[in-house]
Amino acid sequence: MTSTNETRIRRAMTNVSKGEANRMTLPAWVRDLDPDQLDDVHGWLDPKAPERGALLVPTDDGPVGIGLRSSAGGARAAAMCALCRTTHTVGGVALFAAPRKGAAGRQGDTVGTYICADLACAQHVRVETATAALKPTPGTTVDERRAGLRERAVEFVGAVTGAIQTA
Count of Cβ atoms closer than 10 Å to residue 90 Cβ = 13
Count of Cβ atoms closer than 10 Å to residue 144 Cβ = 12
Contacts of 64 (CB under 8 A, 6+ apart): 12, 14, 56, 57, 157, 161, 165
CA distance 62 to 88: 30
Instruction: Give the domain ranges of the chain.
Output: 4-161
* Res 164: pLDDT: 54
Each residue's pLDDT, cut to its tens digit, for the chain (167 residues) gives 468 899 999 999 999 999 999 999 999 999 999 988 998 999 999 999 989 999 999 998 899 999 999 986 666 788 999 999 999 988 899 999 999 999 999 999 999 999 999 999 999 999 888 887 888 888 889 999 999 999 999 999 999 998 754 44
Torsion angle in degrees (nearest 10) through CA of 137, 143, 146, 151: -100
| pTM, rounded to two decimals | 0.87
